[in-house]
Chain A
Amino acid sequence: MIEINGVSKWFKDVVALSDVTFQMGPGVTALLGPNGAGKSSLLRIVCGLTAPSRGDVRVLGKRPRHDLSLFSDIGLVPQQEALFERLTSFELVRAAAILQRVPSPEDATVQAINEVDLDPSDKRPLRSFSKGMRQRVKVAQALVHSPKILILDEPLNGLDPRQRLHMIELFRRWGSEGRTVVVSSHVLEEVEKIGSRVVVLGRGRLVAEGDFHEIRRLMDQRPHRIRLLSGAPAKLGAGLIAEGLVVGARVRSDEEIEVETEDVMLLRSQIAKVARKNNIRLKEMSPLDEDLESVFRYLVKS
């Protein structure tokens, strides 16, 4: 349904995407990557909002920047927050329905606004809406014409946990109805809930694609750096190396040691035993590189 072939995009000296190739079909695909990874650039190319510097994109067999009829089949939730501030949510979504030539625009508008858990009779202008409400209006205008393809760029930003859950349920339902739903996110935990198929972008390159659990396993198996505080850091490091629980250790101070392990779970389960065996009082254990940036750095390197 969406074919991306050797797509590169650069802005003067800055390379946003570099030779990216993959396909997306019916169901939910999560596009994962840290900020600046090239997710928005890729989605904008798929929607025809910008042309690739090199390569080719086909959506439903058509070239998005050249075939206006394609927009009947695509709904986009852009990343930017701006809306037509003086319109009401009903007016904005109805405008989308009319421009998409939906047979009963009023009915479709009410249905779309209800679907995102907003009130179609709300007369307030959009400028008075909270960030979460604006996000939901953006989703409503994208789905009002029941498109075959829904592209959502960071659609969960600004939503509270209950709204996030509701939105994720919607994405899954649309996916199960046979639509192609592409959701970008930089939050790993979000992606875990959104879809089983994941495409990971890092520094403009395709880093990984496939089943989420497979990619998660790859992420979890990377070397982890852990900071340990104890009364005898050198002795603790030696004990952990002897037990094969860590692959490297560096004493940082009288009580701090940094260790590197390939199996965090095993280290967690065994460290107390090693400390007891060596008569060492373990004070604290904290991960040093659990943030997403480190995970992506690792994936990009590998």
Chain B
Amino acid sequence: MGEIYNALLRTALSKGRLAGIAVVSALAMLLGLAVGLDDNAFQDVRLAGYSLITGIGLSLLAPITALVFGSAVLGDPAEEGTLVYLWMRPIPRWHIATAAMGVVLTVTIPLAVIPIGISAMLTGGGRALSLGSILASFLAVSAYGALFIGFGLLVRRALVWGLIYVLLWEGIVASVGAGPARLSVRLYTQSLLAEIANVPRPEASVDVWPAVITLVGIALAGMGLALWRLRTQDIV
């Protein structure tokens, strides 16, 4: 599996992708620092930190990082015609899917999870907010990452469709009511963070364990989708 991981990782990592995501990561940390330095401006620093983490970290940095690398890790080789060099080997298909997930986590943890955790810490919102941010963002990149790995094999231009989902569905449609909100990953990551950080929960939120189970379930479903596509789709 190490060879697949290595080939996929080096293909997915490009200077452009890394630079683009690093800018958003740096912005998240800078905003965290700004909140921390100007804590007199906020009545409740923990709530301000929570708003920052959900607004920038869980709504933008985590999903976009997972989308950029998740959709590309198998989607690009499938479209370019290099997947065949991994696919035509006597290895179980889950090796390829798991290696792809490993690549996504390798990239998203330093580029999204750790910066979100640092940002939470810099706000001065407390230990619970920092730990909650790390856990929620880790589960977020896992769920989004797996979902977009499968999506990358399912559709062409997965990046565009993914952006539509993250920005339009989760950003606008999901805020309209409880129904659409339950069909968005963000609700569960926000619920989790709100519970752990002990701040008022968002509308339609769920408890800690249902949130964790749902996020793990989404990650498993994404992996299942990728596995199914690897077994059934035509390989270029």
Chain A residues at the B interface, C-beta cutoff of 8 Å: 44, 47-51, 68-72, 74, 76, 78, 80, 82-87, 91-92, 94-96, 98-101, 141
Contact = CB atoms under 8 A, between A and B. Distances in A.
Interface residues of B, number: 23
A4 B85 CA distance: 24
A71 B90 CA distance: 5
B17 to A, nearest CB: 13
In the A-B complex, the 7 residue pairs with the smallest Cβ-Cβ separation, listed nearest first, are A80-B81, A99-B89, A95-B3, A50-B234, A86-B10, A82-B80, A49-B235
Contact of B11 (A86, A98, A101, A141): A86
Contacts of A96: 85, 89
A101 B90 contact: yes
Given A96-B89, A99-B3, 10 more contacts: A50-B235, A51-B234, A68-B92, A71-B89, A80-B236, A84-B11, A84-B85, A95-B3, A95-B7, A96-B85
A51 B80 CA distance: 20
A84 B73 CA distance: 12
B6 interface: yes
B234 A99 contact: no
A98 B3 contact: yes
A285 B91 CA distance: 60
Interface of B: 2-4, 6-7, 10-11, 77, 80-82, 84-92, 234-236
B116 to A, nearest CB: 28
A49 B88 contact: yes
B11 A100 contact: no
B3 A49 contact: no
Contact of B84 (A49, A92, A94, A100): A49
Contact of A84 (B10, B88, B89, B92): B10
Contacts of A68: 90-92
A83 B86 CA distance: 11
Contacts of A48: 88
Contacts of A69: 90
Q: Which of B2, B10, B11, B85: most chain A Cβ within 10 A?
A: B85
Contacts of B4: 95, 99
Q: Which of B6, B7, B90: most chain A Cβ within 10 A?
A: B90
A80 B77 CA distance: 12
B75 to A, nearest CB: 14
A141 B235 CA distance: 18
Contact of B7 (A44, A84, A101): A84
A50 B82 CA distance: 15
Contacts of B234: 44, 49-51
A48 B235 CA distance: 9
Contacts of B3: 94-95, 98-99
B153 to A, nearest CB: 14
B82 A84 contact: yes
B85 A141 contact: yes
16 contacts: A47-B88, A49-B84, A70-B90, A71-B88, A72-B90, A80-B80, A80-B81, A80-B236, A84-B85, A85-B11, A87-B7, A91-B7, A95-B4, A96-B89, A99-B89, A101-B90
A51 B234 CA distance: 8
A286 to B, nearest CB: 40
A87 B85 CA distance: 13
Contacts of A85: 11
A84 B12 CA distance: 10
Given A49-B234, A50-B235, A87-B7, A100 B82 contact: no
A100 B90 contact: yes
